[in-house]
Amino acid sequence: MAGTLDTFVKTVMGHTVTASWRELADLHRKAVYDVLERNIPHLDSVLETLAVDRYSMSVVSILLVKMNQIYTDNVKDRFERTLSQVESMVPLFDSMQISFIPDIYVLLFRKVYEYYLLQINKPARGIMLLTNAINVLVKEEKDILTSLHPCLFCLCLKARIHDPAIPFLHLAVPKIFKETANQTGPYMDPKWVVLYFYYGGLLYAVLGRYEEAFAMMQKACCIPAISPSAIVVRAYKIYVLLSLLLYGKTLRLSNYRSPVMTRSIIPLCPDYSALERICDNEEENFDKATAILEYLEAHYATFEKDNTVGLVKLVVRSIRENSVKRLTECFTSISLSDVARRCHLDDSDHAELYLRDMGKEGKINVRIDKKQGIVKFAEMKREADEHEVDKAANFIYTLDALMKQFDDRIRVNPSYISRAGRPLGRGVSAIPPDEGLGHPGSVFMPNVNVGDIESAAGRPMDMVD
């Protein structure tokens, strides 16, 4: 073992005995790019001498140095041995020690994530390891956000194994984990926050939970920013399609969205703005579904590149189903041919297909008299738990009172009053502050295929009604 490495180990043991955790953390941050980096051949010997639970800082730092080497096929066996060490040691890590070096710990598992996703393209192998790594970091605070969450979500999407990600999906994130060494700096690079909501939205969409997916994409689009981001552009495209799917129109983003959204991001999505205009067309007898399909066919390459073809087709189906639902509000009985004409379907058989599918899915209550070609609608029976209704109503009343209380406090806050009444000086940006997140930088974002969003609705990818 090299002399400097021997000195490092003795220093680590001395600080551990005296529980000098901050000094140990500083020592390891320097060693990762110095003494450990220069003594890679001896690192396995060091690991054998250190107990994982007692010297977790040193073990994590050594594993990071080993994973941080340039990957080639010639060293694949070496990387696999290192990953085996990581898998066996994660359950033994001391969370208290890890809390002093979150930057090193997170970087180690990002390297693990990149290896499974980019180097060997076996994302399924990394899911359990990332899950265990997050649990060590957050302990009992399951709703806290770390930069490893979007890494796990991406692996789940690529592997099409979604269940492991569900416990970590939260529409409301009350706390962001501080994983930077700088005490006064941002808690983490904001790109990971945006990716959390983006990948989380894709997961919800694949699971068919479109309301939650819409809420996640809405949050991704409203993260403060001073320049356009590829992540937010993609999130906005999904946001538009989910909005059309759920509401038949694009809902306006919240007022606290960044000016970058209107100025730079929306102009980068002309094809999705075109779909908005089609859905906003209220001309009499205008067939929105057919118009969208025609636009999809004309610009297929764009939507295929964005992996949103399936979602566009779901929007088309939603438009036609909404047309059928409107008939149930106006008629108790109607001919199949009239259903086809009013809903812009091909013929009576096409109308019957839609009616039967919607009936099976519980969206409408319908009986079809095939001989006479008559459709009879009945009112949908809905049963509600009175206790649950009261509970939801009380929650809304409480939330409304809290929001009013918060609004009153803000309005009389001296800092807010002085800022609101102060005119902007020349050259001062009107862009809101980034709330401690820092500024988004470049980020590698794998091209996740979300075509199975449509499969979640039980429809093959190539089916166009």
Q: In this structure, is residue 55 part of a structural domain?
A: yes
* Average pLDDT of every residue of the chain: 86
Same domain, 343 and 225: no
Note the pLDDT tens digit of each residue in 162-171. Answer: 999 999 998 8
**Whether 164 and 21 share a structural domain:** yes
Q: Is residue 1 scored above 90 in pLDDT? A: no
Q: Residue 423 — very low, low, confident or very high, per pLDDT cuts 50/70/90?
A: low
**pLDDT tens for residues 101-127?**
999 999 999 999 999 998 899 999 999
Q: Are residues 104 and 155 in the same domain?
A: yes
Distance CA 454, CA 459 (A): 6
Query: Is the model's pLDDT at 41 over the cut of 70?
Result: yes
**What confidence category does residue 289 fall into, taking pLDDT thresholds of 50, 70 and 90?**
very high
pLDDT value for 455:
47
Residues 287 and 371 in one domain: no
64 lies in some domain:
yes
Whether 440 shows a pLDDT value over 90: the answer reads no
Contact partners, residue 154, CB within 8 Å, separation at least 6? 113, 117, 123, 195, 199, 446, 448
> Does any domain span residue 383?
no
Which residues are CB-neighbours of 98 under 8 A, at least 6 positions away?
56, 57, 60, 105, 136, 137
Greater confidence (80 vs 411) lies with 80
Which amino acid does the sequence have at 324?
Answer: V
Query: What mean pLDDT comes out for the span 400-422?
Result: 83
Residue 363 maps to a domain: yes
The predicted structure's pLDDT at residue 258:
82
Does any domain span residue 413?
A: no
Q: Is the pLDDT of residue 203 over 90?
A: yes
Could you give the CA distance from residue 27 to residue 405 in angstroms, rounded to a whole number?
48
47 shares its domain with 111: yes
Give residue 409's pLDDT: 87
Give Cβ neighbours of residue 373 (< 8 Å, ≥ 6 apart): 335, 336, 337, 348
Categorize the per-residue pLDDT at 465 as very low, low, confident or very high, splitting at 50, 70 and 90.
very low
pLDDT tens by residue, 319-330: 999 999 888 888
pLDDT value of residue 422: 65
Whether residue 464 is predicted with pLDDT greater than 50 in this model: the reply is no
Q: Percent of the chain scored above 70 by pLDDT?
A: 89
Residues 17 and 91 in one domain: yes
What is the mean pLDDT of the segment spanning 395-410? 90
| Closest of 105, 103, 63 to residue 82, by C-alpha | 63
Instruction: Give residue 199's pLDDT.
Output: 96
pLDDT at 365: 87
- End position of a domain, from candidates 337, 353, 377: 377
Residue 399 lies in a domain: no
Same domain? 319 vs 287 = no
Judge whether 280 lies within some domain.
Answer: yes
pLDDT at 13 over 80: yes
Selection from 334, 340, 219, 319 nearest residue 275 by Cα: 319
- Residue 331 maps to which CATH number? 1.10.10.10
Q: What does the H/E/C string look like for the chain?
A: CCHHHHHHHHHHHHHHHCCCHHHHHHHHHHHCCCCCHHHHHHHHHHHHHCCCCCCHHHHHHHHHHHHCCCCCHHHHHHHHHHHHHHHHHHHHCCHHHHCCCHHHHHHHHHHHHHHHHHHCCCCHHHHHHHHHHHHHHHCCCCCEECCHHHHHHHHHHHHCCCHHHHHHCCCCCCEECCCCCCCCCCCCCHHHHHHHHHHHHHHHHHCCCHHHHHHHHHHHHCCCCCCCCHHHHHHHHHHHHHHHHHHCCCCCCCCCCCHHHHHHHHHHCHHHHHHHHHHHCCCCCCCHHHHHHHHHHHCHHHHHHCCCHHHHHHHHHHHHHHHHHHHHHHCCEEEHHHHHHHCCCCCHHHHHHHHHHHHHCCCCEEEEECCCCEEEEECCCCCCCHHHHHHHHHHHHHHHHHHHHHHHHHHCCHHHHHHHHCCCCCCCCCCCCCCCCCCCCCCCCCCCCCCHHHHCCCCCCCCCC
* 255, 160: one domain: no
Using the predicted structure, report yes or no on whether residue 3 has a pLDDT greater than 70: no
In a domain, 362, yes or no: yes
Would you say 293 and 306 are in contact if contact means Cβ atoms under 8 Å apart? no
Which pLDDT belongs to residue 437?
42
Which pLDDT value is given to residue 371? 82
> Contact at 8 Å (CB) between 204 and 216?
yes
Residue 82 shares a structural domain with residue 167: yes
Of 361, 377, 393, the residue that ends a domain is: 377
- Give the range of the structural domain holding residue 262, as residue numbers without chain letter: 188-304
C-alpha angle 73/78/83, rounded to 5°?
Answer: 110
What is the reported pLDDT for 461?
Answer: 35
Region 416-429: what's the mean pLDDT? Answer: 62
Please check whether residues 160 and 195 belong to one and the same domain: no
Q: Which two structure tokens, joined as six digits, stand for 145?
A: 């956000």
> Is the pLDDT confidence value at 348 over 80?
yes
What are the pLDDT digits (tens) for 211-265? 999 999 999 998 888 888 899 999 999 999 999 999 999 998 887 788 888 889 9
Whether 320 and 241 share a structural domain: no
Across the range 33-50, mean pLDDT stands at: 89
Residues 111, 14: one domain? yes
Q: What is the pLDDT confidence band of residue 55, given thresholds at 50, 70 and 90?
A: very high
Residues 6+ apart with CB under 8 A from 131: 152, 164
Total structural domains in the chain? 3
Which residues are registered as beta bridge partners of 335? 374
Residue 303's pLDDT is what?
96
Is-contact 312 296, C-beta < 8 A?
Answer: yes
Q: How far is CA 391 from CA 27, 65, 198, 211, 398, in A?
A: 53, 53, 31, 21, 11
The whole-angstrom separation of Cα 458 and Cα 465 is 13
Which residue among 124, 149, 174 closes a domain? Answer: 174
pLDDT of residue 446: 52
Q: Tens digit of pLDDT for each residue in 312-321?
A: 999 999 999 9
In angstroms, the CA 103 to CA 241 distance is 37
Q: Does the pLDDT value for residue 462 go beyond 70?
A: no
pLDDT at residue 77 is higher than 50: yes
